[in-house]
C-alpha cells in the first residue's frame, strides 16, 4: 500500500519537480534543502516508515554546519551518545587497554556528535515531513528519461513524471543499478564482512564499547546508554565477498558461527544471540567509487554515490554534506546539467579525501595477522591511554559550505 503522509499543495514551478528515492539520511536532508530552494519534492521509501535502527553514527566537521543550518543542532546535542571509553581485549579476553573513543574515531569531544542513526533519521524527516510528499512502502520500478522529464513507474502501480530523480537509496542503490548498471562495477570491497544485531546487555556495559580481537576476527559490544540492550558486531576478514550468503539470513548466521567457532570472551553468547536476533544486519565492508554521480536527469547522493564504509565513520556526514551541496547547486545553476556538474565539481574532492581515510581505522580496529595484532596491542599498552585529539581530522572539515541563496 502506498501511504501519502503529506501532499504538497499548489502547483510546482515548471522544471522543478524532484523525486528522491530513499528516506534514510541523505534523502530527507536533500528533500529539506530542495524544498527550501523552491523545488516540489516527493520522497519514496521502500520501508513502511522511517527506519529506527539504533546503531550510532557520527556527525562531524562540515556536516555539523549542515545540521546547524537546518536548526537541528540542539536536538542532536541532547541525543549525543557521549561514549566514555573503548576497551580493547586480547584473544583470551584479557584487558589490553582502555582509550578515549575519540582517539580512534578522530572525533573531537564536545564538538562532534554521535547519535543513534534512528534519532538522526527521525530528526531529518520531522524537519521536512510537513513540506514535502512522502510515499512509504513503495519504490521505483522503472525510470525512463526523455527530453521533457523522467517517467517513473512505482512498484505500487503508480506512474508519474518528474523533472529530476535522485537516488538516495543507500549502498545497494537500485537507482544506481537502473542508471549505471550492476553494483560490482563501482564496489570496492575492503576485505571484511560484518554481522550487526542487538542483544541483552548482561555485561554491565554503560556508554562504552568493548572490542575483542583475534587475527582477522573482531567482536564488539557497544552500549549506547545504560539500556537493557547492546549492539553486537561480529566482523571478520575474507579475501572474497561471500556472495552466496547475501540473500539468505540462515546462511549468514551459519557463516558467522563457522568463522567464530572456538572464539573466547563473550563470543559464544553473542553467537547464541545472533541465532535468535530478529534485526540481523549482514553486509560486506565496502565503498562505492563512481566516475560520475549523474546521468541526464538522474543523480545520486550519499551512500548510493560514494559510501565510504563504516571504517571511516563518515557515511552520515558525507550524506548530509552531499545533500546540501546537490540541492544548492541545482538551485544556483541555470539547469540540471549545470547543477549536477557543479555538485560534483565542488563536492568530489571532499568525498575522496574522506574515503581515503579508510586505512587508519582498518589498521587500528581489525588487524588481520598475529603480528599486526601484537604490534597494535603493544602500542596500546605502551600508551596506557590514548588522549582525545585536540583537533578533528582535517578531512572531516575539508569543505567550507557555500552560502546558497534561499529564496524565502
Ligand X SMILES: Cc1cc2nc3c(=O)[nH]c(=O)nc-3n(C[C@H](O)[C@H](O)[C@H](O)COP(=O)(O)OP(=O)(O)OC[C@H]3O[C@@H](n4cnc5c(N)ncnc54)[C@H](O)[C@@H]3O)c2cc1C
Site residues for ligand X per CB under 6 A: 21-27, 44-47, 51, 55-58, 117, 139-140, 168-170, 174, 196, 302-304, 307, 310, 313-317, 319
Cβ atoms within 10 Å of 133's Cβ, excluding its own: 17
Scanning the structure block, which residue is given the C-alpha cell 538522474? 298
Residue 366: count of CB within 10 angstroms of its CB? 25
- For the chain, helix, strand, coil in percent to 5 are 35, 25, 40
Residue 10 Cβ vs ligand X, minimum distance, rounded to whole Å: 26
Residue (23 or 210) nearer to ligand X, CB: 23
Run of H or E residues at 67: helix 62-69
- Tell me which residue of 295, 311, 401, 405 sits closest to 355, measured CA to CA: 311
Q: How far is the CB of 16 from ligand X (least distance, A)?
A: 22
CB of 153 to ligand X, least distance (A): 13
Complex with ligand X: residue 91 or 154, whichever CB lies closer: 154
At its nearest, how many Å lie between ligand X and the CB of residue 291? 19
45 or 362: CB nearest ligand X: 45
CB nearer to ligand X: pick between 164 and 304 = 304
Shortest distance, position 226 Cβ to ligand X, whole Å: 20
Helices 315-332 & 62-69 angle (0-180, nearest 10): 60
Total length of the chain: 408
To ligand X, the closest distance from the beta carbon of 335 in angstroms equals 25
* C-alpha separations of 365 from 15, 125, 219, 348 in Å: 48, 33, 10, 27
Handedness of CA 199, 90, 80, 121 (dihedral sign): negative
Q: Would you state the cell numbers that stand for residue 126, as one nine-digit string?
A: 520531522
Residue 235 or 329 having the CB closest to ligand X? 235
Q: Which is nearer to ligand X, 264 or 388 (CB)?
A: 388
Nearer to ligand X, 106 or 377 (CB): 106
The CB-of-173 to ligand X minimum distance in angstroms stands at 7
- Residue 220 CB, shortest distance to ligand X, in Å, is 10
Could you give the CA distance from residue 360 to residue 308 in angstroms, rounded to a whole number? 13
Considering beta carbons, is residue 24 or 367 the nearer one to ligand X? 24
Q: How far apart are CA 323 and CA 33, in angstroms?
A: 8
**403 Cβ neighbours under 8 A, 6+ residues apart:** none
Amino acid at each position: 500500500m502506498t501511504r501519502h503522509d503529506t501532499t504538497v499543495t499548489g502547483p510546482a514551478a515548471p522544471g522543478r519537480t524532484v523525486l528522491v528515492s530513499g528516506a534514510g539520511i541523505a534523502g530527507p536532508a536533500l528533500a529539506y534543502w530542495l524544498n527550501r530552494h523552491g523545488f516540489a519534492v516527493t520522497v519514496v521509501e521502500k520501508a513502511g516508515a522511517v527506519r529506527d535502527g539504533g546503531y550510532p553514527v557520527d556527525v562531524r566537521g562540515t556536516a555539523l554546519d549542515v545540521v546547524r543550518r537546518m536548526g537541528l543542532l540542539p536536538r542532536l546535542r541532547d541525543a549525543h551518545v557521549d561514549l566514555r571509553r573503548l576497551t580493547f581485549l586480547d584473544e583470551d579476553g584479557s584487558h589490553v587497554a582502555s582509550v578515549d573513543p575519540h582517539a580512534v574515531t578522530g572525533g573531537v569531544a564536545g564538538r562532534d556528535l554521535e547519535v543513534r542513526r534512528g534519532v538522526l533519521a527521525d530528526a531529518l524527516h520531522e524537519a521536512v515531513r510537513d513540506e514535502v510528499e512522502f510515499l512509504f512502502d513503495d519504490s521505483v520500478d522503472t525510470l525512463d528519461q526523455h527530453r521533457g522529464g523522467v517517467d517513473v513507474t512505482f512498484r505500487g502501480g503508480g506512474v508519474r513524471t518528474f523533472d529530476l530523480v535522485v537516488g538516495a537509496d543507500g549502498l545497494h542503490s537500485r537507482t544506481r543499478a537502473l542508471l549505471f548498471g550492476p553494483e560490482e562495477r563501482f564496489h570496492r570491497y575492503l576485505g571484511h564482512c560484518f554481522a550487526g544485531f542487538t542483544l541483552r546487555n548482561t555485561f554491565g556495559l554503560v556508554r562504552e564499547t568493548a572490542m575483542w580481537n583475534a587475527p582477522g576476527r573482531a567482536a564488539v559490544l557497544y552500549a549506547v546508554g545504560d539500556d537493557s540492550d547492546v549492539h553486537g558486531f561480529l566482523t571478520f576478514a575474507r579475501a572474497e565477498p561471500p556472495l552466496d550468503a547475501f540473500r539468505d539470513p540462515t546462511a549468514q548466521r551459519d557463516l558467522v558461527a563457522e568463522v567464530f567457532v572456538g572464539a573466547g570472551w563473550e563470543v559464544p553468547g553473542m553467537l547464541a544471540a545472533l541465532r535468535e536476533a530478529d534485526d540481523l544486519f549482514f553486509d560486506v565492508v565496502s565503498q562505492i567509487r563512481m566516475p560520475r554521480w549523474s546521468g541526464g536527469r538522474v543523480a545520486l547522493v550519499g551512500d548510493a554515490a560514494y559510501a565510504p564504509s563504516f571504517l571511516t565513520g563518515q557515511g552520515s556526514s558525507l550524506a548530509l554534506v552531499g545533500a546540501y551541496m546537490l540541492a544548492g547547486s541545482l538551485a544556483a545553476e541555470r539547469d540540471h546539467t549545470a547543477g549536477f556538474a557543479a555538485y560534483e565539481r565542488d563536492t568530489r574532492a571532499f568525498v575522496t579525501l574522506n574515503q581515503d581515510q579508510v586505512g587508519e581505522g582498518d589498521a587500528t580496529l581489525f588487524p588481520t595477522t598475529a603480528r599486526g595484532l601484537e604490534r597494535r596491542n603493544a602500542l596500546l599498552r605502551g600508551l596506557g591511554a590514548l588522549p582525545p585529539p585536540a583537533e578533528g581530522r582535517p578531512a572531516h572539515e575539508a569543505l567550507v559550505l557555500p552560502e546558497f541563496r534561499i529564496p524565502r
